[in-house]
Structure 1
Amino acid sequence: MAPPLSRRSLLRAAALASAVPAVSLSPTSASAAPTVPAALPAPDAWTVRPFPLDQVALRAGLFADKRELMLDHARGYDVDRLLQVFRANAGLPTGDAVAPGGWEGLDGEANGNLRGHYAGHFMTMLAQAWAGTGEQVFADRLRTMVGALTKVRAALREDPAVTVTDGRFGTAVEQIRGSYQYIDLPSGTLGGARAITLSVWVRPAHDGAWARVLDFGDTTRYLYLAARNADGVPRFAVTTGGPGAEQGLDGTAALPLNRWSHLAVTLADGTGVLYVNGTEVARNTAMTLTPAALGTPVNNWLGRSNYPADPVFAGAFDEFNAWSRALDGAEIAALQDSRAADTPAGRGDLASYAFDETSGGTLTDGSGHGRTAALRRTWGGPSHPGFLAAYPETQFIDLESRTTSDYTKVWAPYYTAHKILQGLLDAHLATGDNRALDLASGMGDWMYSRLSRLPASTLQRMWGLFSSGEFGGIVEAICDLHALTGKPEHLALARLFDLDRLIDSCAAGTDVLDGLHANQHIPIFTGCLRLYDTTGEERYLDAARNFWGMVVPHRMYGIGGTSTGEFWKARDVIAGTISATTAETCCAYNMLKLSRTLFFHDQRPEYMDHYERALFNQVLGSKQDRPDAEKPLVTYFIGLTPGHVRDYTPKQGTTCCEGTGMESATKYQDSVYFAAADGSALYVNLYSPSELTWAEQGVTVTQITAFPHEQGTTLTVAGGSASFELRLRVPAWATAGFRVTVNGRAVSGTPVTGSYFGVSRTWRGGDTVRIAMPFRLRVEKALDDPSLQTLFLGPVNLVGRNSSTEYLRLGLYRNAGLSGDLLPSLTPVSGEPLHFTLDGTEFAPFHEGTEDPTHAYFRRVEPRVVFGGVDSGVANPARFDGTTLLDEVWAGAPFGSKGALVARVRATVDAWVAAGLLGAGDGRTVVATARRAGYAP
């Protein structure tokens, strides 16, 4: 008998009722009914398979508490802010929404060349939150975003259309910042005039220098009017010899933002005059050039500069008129309160645009010449109808010819595409919204249309470019897309991202990681595994396995993270790479995905040992322990230098790590349990309070524990009877024992650390499995400097909270127990689980997201030989490699008795005296001290 559906499952099922699947590339109504999601089938190559998030519920505990902090952000953040950059790019109204900023805004780092990525992460977070909690708000927000993106793609496929705003007189045309739209006037608009007046109302929305109100000509022969020059004031100029020969007029004050201002220029008889709001602000009596000197200008633009580096004008236009004479001051003043048609000047006889249009992409000329203007995009339009992005396709086009990295010009466009694609796939799978799959399929078609026509050499050059060529986990996402659509083009597309020189080197076991950007390359290997699943090519599997072994442990810090300053250094250099920019959080996220996917193919316990280490330490510790609707509060780097304070609001926000941080915090349960592909076994990988609904076996498994505050866990089976093997992970750190009972009786067999312990039986409702796994305090040494160490209690990394910026110097052998456990040297803090003090410094779990200055590593110093608190007074000698006498003694732990310890001390002393490393007299003192030490017999 199958277990009853949970409230979460019932909510999800109700939301998916009566829906019809379809995949197309046609616009879909925003109110279209969602379809039943097509569950991704597990590849045949997977010998174990994960459970969907909605089948594993988090129960109260550490992970649920951390997740709830992120759910506050998921519930509270205004998704219209995320959609602002997409709508702007498509020329759609953005309302009052303000782009998130940072990497998601035009004013952020590299001019927001990564914008759109954050919305993808947010959709994935919402999908995971909906699956994990069943709260309707998350599904509703997903559908809002998918509906908006559907409209965005439709708008991108069409010519630009008027965006209406309140004008100075009636309506006006708004040029949304980020839309790259401008007004294209017909050739001959200026008519070769020898005198001219130009008049326009503008409402600037941004203070960027050199945004043109108008620009007629090219880069040599032109006249322009800029809202702001380099000094922030309006400027008019005319030239037939380029910038160095300009004859110009400069204003005296900046135009206010988001307020209407009137600009007018007259030019006649060698004199130019600039007016602002009807007042003359500049006069130049040496302006000999007129429009006639330009001939027939090549370009006739409102809102766009002939210089591509200049920004497109952002704001609104109203009432543009051009006359073939110089209006006098009174006529200019009259334009302040009335339309030109209602003033003595009348409409411009060269051109006159009232901007009264409320739809369409053309603007009517009222001068009588019929010079209809048109709205254009500076980049034209998409090369394929499936294109969807928050910036122009020029980012992708530029990458194809780029030979050097410059993220201020091109910053990882396919990385951004990945995040959007993945978010859409997750939205479809979580809510069944077919519009999301339609958008995703279109993106796949568009990418294939671009990349399939490129030579292999071009692709290899692109993917080898640091930053610009980064594409994240796009291969994995495209493989998932192919599983849903079945389109052969989508599988072919996935293979176009192969970075052959890296994949081939790793497949051959050749370590070439030194100097590579870590997070650019880690996801490549999760993609390799998915390609192996689909193609069966062993090269992909070998590359992924070997790559993992090049990172763990050879480039891994104690908390499970990797990279310094985003890059890898030489193999086995750990102490030598510790910095304030160590352990980029995205790297931990991607190494977890890789470890997990490798385990699906090969159940090597070290994959899940690493998963536990990185999850319980870096990933949990990367999230600050306070709620915030506006910020996810996730670290970018976790510096491991002494006294480092974590920065939970890095780089103006909306970074890659904040994006992956949102995802990590809403899928903590994704690897707690796996099932054998044939249903014969249940893997319990992580010890976390949770409830598994295993429908195929008709049982639920509830795990009750306060782990890691509790050194064990209890599993209870409910439902009907089912035969399977329960495979319990015996962590590599569980050297103090791992004991299992079923219904109170000890299970035969000897659990081995770093393996899985199997319990096979026919399980019945009420069966209870109890696991005890005592923690021991241990140290882990930096591979390149054994004296630099980090503390662990079970799976928990303990960090010192101390403001010193020098490594703490600590000794731990003084009270070590016969078991070898170093914990007796620390003093527990009353009422604070997993908190201790040592030499005046408090040690606490790394996973606590505080802003305390921390010491993840310390300098191990054991100056004298001490046993059981008894000081021998003898200096602790060391070998050339740094190994001390005490290190060698305690390497023999655990000791069954004090006598066994004394025997180990005597044998070690004899060897060191014989080697000339310790004097005979001091040796005798050391042995005597061990005998006097206060250990129980």
Structure 2
Amino acid sequence: MTATAAPSDVDTPRPLAALTALAPGAARLRPGLFEDRRRLNRDYLRSLRAPNLLQNHLIEAGIGSQAWHLHPSRDDAESRGLDRHWGWETPGSLLRGHFVGHWLSAAAREIAVTGDAHLRATLTEVLDGLELCQRENGDGWVFAIPPAFLDRLADGREVWAPQYDIHKTLMGLVDVSRELGEERARDIAHAAAGRLLAWARTFDDESFQRILEVETGGMLEVWADLLEATGDPMYVELLDRYTHRSLFDGLLAGRDVLTNMHANTTIPEVLGAARAYEVTGDERWRRIVTAYWDSAVTQRGTFATGGQTSGEIWTPPHAFAARRGEKTQEHCSVYNMIRLADTLLRWTGDLAYADYIERNLYNGILAQQHPDTGMVAYFLPLHGGARKTWGSPTEDFWCCHGTLVQAHTRHASLGVYTSSGDDGTAAITVAQYIPVEAGLPGGGRLTVELVDHAGYVGPDSNAGEAGDLHRPRAWRVRVRLDSPVAQTLRLRVPEWTAGEPAVRGADGASRQGSALEVPHAGGVTTVEVDFAHTVRAVPIPDEPTTVAFVEGPVVLAGLVDAEIALSGDAARPETLLAVDNERQWSQWLTGYRTVGQPRAVRFAPLHTIADESFSVYFPVHPA
């Protein structure tokens, strides 16, 4: 194709095929924004020591730190406890011990992908400690909270969410077992599951359903994972007992059971239904998952960022104007909805789920990680003149602190999928334009690069031809497939693409629905594609004169300390914003500024905002 050509034609989309994710260690990030954020996260994971991660598990088991065989305190600060974990991890907190499970899951993925020896050594120490705690506790108990918390839960007495807390330890053990082949981790989880089944059997079905009304985390998902790993029929019984009937039956009946419900209580339960379907094949589980997505997303809508919650609860359908505040968009909900979207993407092959993931990656996962410290913002505030509130390395340990460390180990796994049709044809689908290099099943390699876009030009851009005169209004993507297998290379055409993508270097490319399909006959195929974009004004559904400005998938934030109104035509955002300070050295900068306004406002991508005050939404009045 010529350098400016669009795909040869736009065909009627073929039936979609289910997609298969690559193995966790098959893909690694290349240099760029996502790799920078992963490294921040890796450094934080490495900074945490096993004795402090396990402090509450050891206390519950009655094991003093000096009695344990690991490191004694190494300096005076440590001897005074200044390196210990506080906040939600403070001894005595009702959710103490939850973070170690998140750490195990994150460390397992980082080790699987990079082989990090430091993390492997710390993980081994943590497993040693959990094994010792289980032995000292007796009866399989391996958790940082006492069994009495379950008694309080069953009696309806005040307690926070003990099963949520328990789930985190089980989740970490299951992930270590699955991703690193650590049978010891699976055995610890299996023994603990037997203890929990014995407890659950003491209640009739009606009584246990009442218990399930209090947040259980992803217990259902763990039971499905352990059923797959062990084949033990006790997990079939646990799946049945943990089926939350008031939620699942309501979804299947088409009722709105989500409005004003705590969002991240329900999302992990539906992720459990998804795993139960994958393990058992029971179609009812799948219907629950699709009904949930329909209620939570299709019928509800989202903020411009892709997030949907306020004060941790689901907003009413398409009613967001009154829900903007300091506690909008909880990080945990963003992370778990990305996981749910990824599940549905794999099941259906529908790339609309990848669009949803992309929007939430940039305006949630990246926007809620401090670009310098790597710490998390529990919420992403969307009121005028907002500021992000950041956590600390050892003094907060919110729930979102846990999903933060998991999220930034998983970027490479969201981009590339394989599939095969009923006729035996094979395909590689690139669903996210995250720079990555991946090994493919059956041999071969795939490389995805962002060649020239806002924020990055390339290592040799200061030499040779000058290139673009102004900041590119497109994402320029290069994909190289080196494989002996004849197959189709499918590239997602993002929902925000303006016009048809321009293709270079690939004869026979055609548009198939939301994908650009490039034939690969074997050998090496290299294709470059420009996905053009414009600045769009995205209104609040129930207040259409108030808009957010979005470039590609990236929400732009105005650097202001209060909500201000703009004057002009929101249907023509190019008349309101102009490119600002576009270039330095080898880098295209990413800012905009208002034009024709009484007060000049500069805009920056929301995910680059650290400590500045900002607004995402702006009322626009006719000039």
Contact kept, 8 Å, 1:48 with 1:676, in 2: the verdict is: yes
Distance 2:167 2:548 in 1: 36
Contact 1:836 1:843 in 2 (8 A): yes
Within 5 Å, which residues of 2 pair with 1:412-561?
412-464=161-213, 469-552=214-297, 554-561=300-307
Structure 2: which 5+ runs fail to align?
1-16, 67-72, 456-473
Aligned equivalents of 1:152, 1:489: Cα separation in 2: 24
1:345 aligned residue: none
What TM-score, normalized by structure 2, do the two folds share? 0.86
Counterpart contact for 2:143–2:166, Cα < 8 Å: yes
Match of 1:797 in 2: 555
Separation (CA, whole Å) in 2 of partners of 1:660 and 1:480 = 19
SS of 2:108's partner is helix
Query: Could you say if the C-alpha distance between residues 835 and 451 of structure 1 is closer, same or farther in structure 2, counting changes exceeding 3 Å?
Result: same
- Is the radius of gyration larger for structure 1 or structure 2? 1
Q: Tell me which residue corresponds to 1:394.
A: 148
Which residue does the alignment assign to 1:927?
A: none
CA distance in 1, matches of 2:507, 2:120: 46
Pair 1:643–1:152, CA change in 2 (3 A): same
What secondary structure is seen at the aligned counterpart in 1 of 2:495? Answer: coil
Q: Which residue of structure 2 aligns with residue 770 of structure 1?
A: 528
Which residue matches 1:133?
114
Deviation at 1:723, TM superposition (A): 1.4
Shift in alpha-carbon separation, 1:555–1:450, aligned structure 2, 3 A = farther
Amino acid of the residue matched to residue 103 of structure 1?
W
| 1:826 aligned counterpart, secondary structure | strand
**Equivalent pairs, count:** 561
Residue by residue over 1:192-222, the C-alpha shift from the partner in whole angstroms, topping out at 9 and shown as x without a partner, is xxxxxxxxxxxxxxxxxxxxxxxxxxxxxxx
Q: Residue 538 of structure 2 aligns to a residue in which SS? A: strand
- What does 1:168-207 correspond to in 2, within 5 Å? none
How far apart, CA to CA, are the structure 2 residues paired with 1:401 and 1:51?
Answer: 45
User: Secondary structure of the residue that 1:481 maps to in structure 2?
Assistant: helix
CA offsets 1:356-403 (integer angstroms, 9 cap, x no match) = xxxxxxxxxxxxxxxxxxxxxxxxxxxxx221111210111221221x
- 1:842 alignment partner in structure 2: 602
Q: 2:384 aligns with which of 639, 642, 663?
A: 642
Pair 1:786 & 2:547 matched: no
Q: Are 2:429 and 1:687 aligned?
A: no
- Code of the residue aligned with 1:797 in structure 2: it is V
SS at 2:608 equivalent? coil
CA RMSD in angstroms, aligned pairs only: 2.1
Q: Is the 8 A contact 1:49 1:677 kept in 2?
A: no
Cα deviation digits, residues 116-159 of structure 1 (max 9, x gap):
110001111111111222221111111110011111111111xx
Match of 2:460 in 1: none
Q: Which secondary structure state, in structure 1, belongs to the residue aligned with residue 309 of structure 2? A: coil
1:537 Cα shift? Answer: 3.1
Note if contact 2:377-2:388 (Cα within 8 Å) is conserved in structure 1: yes
**Equivalent runs, 1:670-685 vs 2, <5 Å:** 670-676=413-419, 680-685=426-431
Aligned equivalent of 2:332: 586
Q: Is it true that 1:571 corresponds to 2:300 in the alignment? A: no
**Contact kept? 2:306, 2:360, Cα under 8 Å:** yes
- Report the 3-state secondary structure (helix = DSSP H, G, I; strand = E; otherwise coil) of the residue aligned with 2:550: strand
Aligned pair 1:50/2:21, yes or no? Answer: yes
Cα deviation 1:836-885 (Å, max 9, x = unaligned): 1114211111111411111111112232xxxxxxxxxxxxxxxxxxxxxx
Change in Cα spacing, 1:423 to 1:756, as seen in structure 2 (3 Å) is same
Q: Is 1:80 equivalent to 2:65 in the alignment?
A: no
1:588–1:618 contact (8 Å) kept in structure 2:
yes
2:486 counterpart SS class:
strand
CA spacing shift, 1:748–1:665, aligned 2, 3 Å:
closer
Contact 2:163–2:217 under 8 Å retained in 1:
yes
Residue number in structure 2 paired with 1:100: 85
| Residue equivalent to 2:132 | 151
8 Å CA contact 2:577, 2:592 repeated in 1: no
Equivalent residue for 1:63, pick from 28, 34, 40:
34
Q: Hey, what does 1:669 align to over in structure 2?
A: 412
CA contact (8 A) 2:98 2:168 kept: yes
Counterpart-to-counterpart distance in 2, 1:583 and 1:527: 22
Shift of 1:745: 4.0
CA shift for structure 1 position 757:
2.6
Aligned counterpart, 2:568: 811
Pick one of 466, 491, 500 that aligns with 1:728. 491
Partner Cα distance (1:555, 1:841) in 2: 28
Rounded Cα–Cα distance in structure 2 between residues aligned with 1:489 and 1:600: 28
Identity %: 27
User: Residue type of the partner of 1:640?
Assistant: L
- What SS does the corresponding residue of 1:414 show, helix, strand or coil? helix
CA contact (8 A) 2:545 2:570 kept: no
Query: Which residue number corresponds to residue 171 of structure 1?
Result: none
**Mapped partners of 1:751, 1:490: distance in 2:** 42
Which gives a bigger RCO, structure 1 or 2 (Cα 8 Å, sep 6+)? Answer: 2
Q: Is the 8 A contact 1:114 1:412 kept in 2?
A: yes
| Deviations, residues 779-804 of structure 1 (Å, cap 9, x unaligned) | 1111111011111111111111111x
Structure-1 separation of matches of 2:387 and 2:329: 14
The whole-number CA distance in structure 2 between the counterparts of 1:851 and 1:808 is 22
Give the TM-score normalised by structure 1. 0.58
Could you say if the C-alpha distance between residues 533 and 430 of structure 1 is closer, same or farther in structure 2, counting changes exceeding 3 Å?
closer
Gaps of 5+ in 1: 1-45, 158-384, 864-937
Determine which structure has the larger helix proportion and give its number. Answer: 2
- Once residues 622 and 458 of structure 1 are traced to their aligned partners in structure 2, the CA distance between those partners, rounded to angstroms, is 39
Which amino acid in structure 1 is aligned with residue 33 of structure 2? Answer: L
Q: Secondary structure at the match of 1:435?
A: helix
SS at match of 1:542: helix
The Cα of 1:524 is off from its aligned counterpart by 1.4
Distance in 2, Cα, partners of 1:823 & 1:459: 59
Matched with 1:717 is: 481
Tell me, in whole angstroms, the C-alpha distance in 1 between the residues paired with 2:372 and 2:104: 22
Give the direction of change, closer, same or farther, for the CA distance of 1:420–1:677 in structure 2 (3 Å limit). Answer: farther
**Counterpart amino acid of residue 481 in structure 2:** V
Q: Distance in 2 between matches of 1:856 and 1:671?
A: 27
Hey, what's the Cα distance between the residues in 2 that align with 1:780 and 1:723? 41
1:812 CA drift (Å): 5.1
Call closer, same or farther: CA 1:716–1:622 in 2, change over 3 Å: same
Q: Distance in 1 between matches of 2:501 and 2:540?
A: 27
Aligned-partner residue type, residue 391 of structure 1? I
- Tell me, in whole angstroms, the C-alpha distance in 1 between the residues paired with 2:288 and 2:546: 32
**3-state SS of 2:382 partner:** coil
- Within a 5 Å distance, the mapping from 1:22-37 to structure 2 comes to none
Report if the CA contact (8 A) 1:776-1:823 is conserved.
Answer: no
Q: Offset at 1:748? A: 4.3
What is the CA-CA distance between 1:492 and the residue it aligns to?
Answer: 2.0
Cα distance in structure 1, aligned partners of 2:320 and 2:378: 19
Instruction: Provide the rounded CA distance (Å) in 2 between the counterparts of 1:454 and 1:784.
Output: 46
Asked if residue 828 in structure 1 is aligned to residue 589 in structure 2, the reply is no
Could you tell me how far 1:652 is from its partner in structure 2? 4.6
Q: In the TM superposition, what is the alpha-carbon distance from 1:52 to its structure 2 partner?
A: 2.1
Q: 1 CA distance for matches of 2:192 and 2:348?
A: 33
Q: Distance in 2 between matches of 1:739 and 1:496?
A: 53
- Secondary structure of the 2:518 match is strand
Give runs of aligned pairs for residues 331-342 of structure 1, distance below 5 A.
none
Alpha-carbon separation, structure 1, partners of 2:53 and 2:567: 48
